[in-house]
């Protein structure tokens, strides 16, 4: 069943999907903010993107969500099911993208039974299924800033999650991506450098050497996270920040693409800052043409505002100039940090920003826009 558009008969209304199916290899279930579990039912693989199932708290519903996610991965990756957990794409290290990763990875290494969170006295119940040793957990693919934030979150926690393991460094040189190093107190991390060999900062929109996450061919891009706001929604001057966007699709045994292309950025990717030091934002589209994707996952959040929707206009202008979306545009991060659920179980939403975004698009793209509710994550993980 194709995703339901939020744009129907010339108007924008809230029509949430339980999931988005992008071809036979990508079933996306929402895990909060920009969090996703990507289920490849053909090759029997699971990949996570910015997982945040707790939504930043440890209430009983939050604990159940992370418990359900961890147990789903454990059961699916057991020999009877035959799935593989191939890794995590982490766009940046902000709390609503990275904070649950230490908990998720630690729970995956624990035997069945009660297990307490790293911080706090709450616990969850782990099911039987695959249990990883710390040195066999799959890679987390992220940039250097996210590495530092993740190391900070892992610091002073239990020693088993800090087990030394080789990490993979992405170098922008002729030697390719698979350079190895050591990080004595880190997870197995993919470190996307954002400088060239001469130490110069690279522009937002620059592609980095690609890699495989299972059968998915992944190309990371340096992306703009221009809108950095405080918790009071006031902008901090001089706080331009980079993040990583990812293009991924399946490649066949012959090396040719045989799956739909998904492009995802993490949060507030307006691509409007004059870069982080010098130069200009780089267009991702080829000269004279747009970058073709089947699914564009676009962060439409309350940060996309710098007065009169200037930041949102910049995001849309960059999208129109650079992307040709063949199938669907999936709005993510549109909730205002996930307040309490309504009586029907759906989230209270800051949906006005999505309406503003849709109204800025061309008429040919408006019907492609969809959103996904948390219902999909909570209901589908049993399947």
Q: 204-219 pLDDT, tens per residue?
A: 888 887 888 999 999 9
The pTM for the full model equals 0.86
Mean pLDDT, to the nearest integer, of 155-160?
44
Instruction: Estimate the crossing angle of helix 310-322 against helix 352-360, to 10 degrees.
Output: 50
pLDDT digits (tens, 9 = 90+) for 235-289: 444 445 678 899 999 988 887 778 899 999 988 778 876 544 445 678 887 776 7
Average pLDDT over residues 313-331: 91
Would you state the pLDDT for residue 382? 58
Residue 279's pLDDT is what? Answer: 53
Average pLDDT estimate for 84-92: 90
Residue with tokens 């707790």: 54
Q: Give 151's pLDDT tier (boundaries 50, 70, 90).
A: low
What is the predicted pLDDT for the residue at 236? 43
**Which pLDDT band holds residue 57 (cuts at 50, 70, 90)?**
confident
- Using alpha carbons, select from 373, 337, 335, 328 the residue that is nearest to residue 352: 335
Phi, psi at residue 102, to the nearest 5°? -60, -40
Across the range 104-128, mean pLDDT stands at 87
Encoded tokens for 377: 């994550």
Query: What DSSP string describes 91-120?
Result: ----HHHHTTHHHHHHHHTSPSEEEE-SSS
Q: Do the Cβ atoms of 147 and 155 come closer than 8 Å?
A: no
Inform me whether the pLDDT recorded for 164 exceeds 50: no
| Residue 261 near residue 295 (C-beta atoms within 8 A) | yes
d(CA 150, CA 102): 8
Q: What is the C-alpha separation between 251 and 217, in angstroms, rounded?
A: 6
Question: For the chain, what is the mean pLDDT?
Answer: 76
CA distance 21 to 38: 10
* Rounded alpha-carbon distances, angstroms, from residue 312 to 227, 229, 318, 356: 10, 15, 10, 8
From residue 382, how far is each of 26, 68, 76, 149, 311 by CA, in Å? Answer: 17, 8, 10, 32, 39
pLDDT of 312 > 70? The answer is yes
Give 338-355 pLDDT, tens digit per residue.
544 444 444 555 677 888
Q: What CA–CA distance (Å, rounded) separates 343 from 348?
A: 10
pLDDT score for 200: 57
DSSP readout, 43-69? TTEEEEES--TTTT--SHHHHHHHHHH
Q: Grade residue 1 by pLDDT with cuts at 50, 70 and 90.
A: low
Give the torsion through C-alpha atoms of 14, 15, 18, 19, to 10 deg. Answer: -100
What pLDDT was estimated at residue 153?
A: 59
Confidence of residue 383 (pLDDT cuts 50, 70, 90): low
Domain borders along the chain are: 7-380
Mean pLDDT of 304-313: 66
The secondary element (H helix, E strand) that includes residue 355 is helix 352-360
pLDDT digits (tens, 9 = 90+) for 20-43: 999 999 999 988 889 999 999 999
Give CA 102 to chain center in angstroms.
16
Domain range 7-380, CATH class: alpha beta
**Alpha-carbon span 56 to 172, nearest angstrom:** 35
């Amino acid at each position: 069943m194709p995703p339901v558009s939020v744009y129907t008969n010339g108007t924008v209304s809230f029509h949430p999907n339980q999931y988005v199916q992008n071809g036979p290899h990508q079933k996306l279930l929402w895990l909060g903010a920009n969090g996703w579990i990507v289920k490849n039912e053909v090759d029997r693989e699971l990949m996570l993107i910015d997982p945040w199932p707790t939504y930043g708290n440890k209430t009983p519903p939050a604990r159940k969500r992370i418990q359900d996610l961890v147990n789903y991965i454990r059961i699916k990756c057991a020999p009877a099911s035959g799935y593989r957990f191939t890794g995590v794409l982490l766009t940046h290290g902000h709390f609503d993208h990275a904070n649950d990763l230490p908990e998720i990875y630690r729970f995956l290494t624990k035997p069945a039974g009660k297990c307490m969170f790293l911080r706090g006295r709450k616990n969850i119940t782990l099911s039987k299924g695959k249990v990883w040793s710390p040195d066999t957990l799959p890679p987390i693919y992220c940039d250097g800033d996210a590495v530092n934030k993740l190391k900070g979150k892992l610091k002073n926690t239990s020693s088993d999650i800090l087990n030394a393991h080789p990490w993979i460094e992405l170098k922008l040189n002729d030697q390719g991506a698979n350079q190895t190093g050591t990080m004595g107190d880190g997870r197995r991390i993919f470190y996307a450098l954002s400088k060239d060999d001469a130490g110069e900062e690279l522009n937002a929109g620059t592609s980095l050497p690609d890699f495989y996450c299972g059968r998915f061919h992944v190309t990371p891009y340096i992306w703009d996270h221009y809108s950095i706001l405080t918790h009071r929604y006031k902008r901090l001057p001089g706080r331009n920040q980079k993040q990583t966007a990812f293009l991924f699709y399946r490649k066949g045994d012959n090396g040719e693409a045989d799956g739909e292309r998904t492009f995802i950025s993490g949060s507030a990717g307006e691509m409007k800052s004059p870069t982080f030091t010098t130069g200009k934002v780089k267009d991702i589209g080829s000269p004279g043409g747009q970058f073709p994707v089947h699914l564009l996952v676009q962060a439409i959040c309350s940060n996309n505002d710098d007065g009169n929707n200037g930041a949102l206009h910049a995001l849309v202008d960059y999208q129109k100039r650079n992307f040709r979306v063949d199938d669907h545009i999936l709005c993510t991060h549109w909730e205002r940090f996930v307040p309490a659920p309504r009586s029907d179980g759906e989230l209270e939403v800051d949906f006005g920003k999505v309406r503003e975004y849709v109204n800025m698009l061309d008429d040919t793209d408006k019907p492609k826009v969809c959103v996904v509710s948390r219902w999909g994550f909570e209901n589908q993980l049993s399947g």
